[in-house]
């Protein structure tokens, strides 16, 4: 759920929000990644695809029902989720990504982990032609100086407030 939500909110996430959403699942806290994404959606007014909106609210009800005690992050998530809008204009994001989650995995598989940046960029370009990058790979590419390779792959930035 965290990656699909991240994918839908990508146009409205700031660099800091992308980094937080990347870090939380690797720290075993996917619900905190969802909180970051839902906060961005709530503040920007960027809408979720309607089927993802329904799936998210179903997930939220199940997640809240399974909690043995009240957690502040769940309360905050519920409050922010109330402001998330749905749109019928966009189909649900399918979530099918290539298997690489970090640039290093792509570079290592291509045998260019220790090569020049130009060779690494060529390997990443070839990988991107055949695969869809996950949100974590996109964030890692930005952090490692390969973000420019994603320019043609990303939707235009959200016009909502608080975006970068």
Q: What was the pLDDT predicted at 138? A: 82
Q: For 45-70, what is the mean pLDDT?
A: 81
The crossing angle, in degrees rounded to 10, of helices 50-66 and 2-9 is 140
| Average model confidence (pLDDT) across the chain | 80
Q: For 6-35, what is the mean pLDDT?
A: 82
Considering only residues 111 and 138, tell me which one the structure prediction assigns the higher pLDDT.
111
Q: For 87-112, what is the mean pLDDT?
A: 76
Considering only residues 107 and 7, tell me which one the structure prediction assigns the higher pLDDT.
107
Residue 119 reports pLDDT greater than 90 = yes
Q: How far apart are CA 75 and CA 90, in angstroms?
A: 28
Q: What was the pLDDT predicted at 97? A: 67
Q: How far apart are CA 108 and CA 104, in angstroms?
A: 6
Residue 86 reports pLDDT greater than 50 = yes
Q: What was the pLDDT predicted at 87? A: 86
**Span of 40-44, 67-71, 156-160 with lowest mean pLDDT:** 156-160
Residues 120-163: tens digit of each pLDDT:
999 999 998 888 887 778 888 888 888 888 776 544 344 444 33
Q: What was the pLDDT predicted at 144? A: 84
Q: For 56-78, what is the mean pLDDT?
A: 77
- Residue 72: burial class (beta carbons within 10 Å; 0-12, 13-18, 19+): exposed
CB 52 within 8 A of CB 93: yes
pTM over 0.75: no
Q: What was the pLDDT predicted at 110? A: 94
Q: How far apart are CA 79 and CA 73, in angstroms?
A: 10
């Amino acid at each position: 759920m965290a990656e699909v939500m991240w994918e839908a909110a990508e146009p409205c996430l700031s660099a800091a929000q992308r980094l937080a959403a990347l870090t939380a699942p690797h720290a075993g806290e996917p619900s905190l990644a969802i909180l970051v994404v839902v906060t961005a959606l709530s503040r920007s007014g960027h809408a979720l695809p309607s089927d993802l909106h329904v799936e998210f609210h179903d997930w939220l009800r199940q997640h809240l029902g399974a909690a043995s005690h009240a957690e502040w992050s769940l309360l905050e998530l519920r409050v922010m989720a109330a402001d998330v809008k749905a749109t019928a204009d966009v189909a649900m994001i399918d979530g099918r990504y290539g298997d690489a989650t970090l640039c290093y995995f792509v570079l290592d598989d291509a045998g260019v982990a220790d090569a020049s940046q130009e060779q690494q960029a060529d390997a990443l370009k070839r990988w991107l032609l055949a695969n869809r990058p996950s949100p974590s790979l996109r964030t890692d590419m930005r952090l490692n100086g390969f973000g420019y390779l994603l320019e043609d792959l990303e939707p235009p930035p959200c016009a909502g407030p608080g975006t970068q």
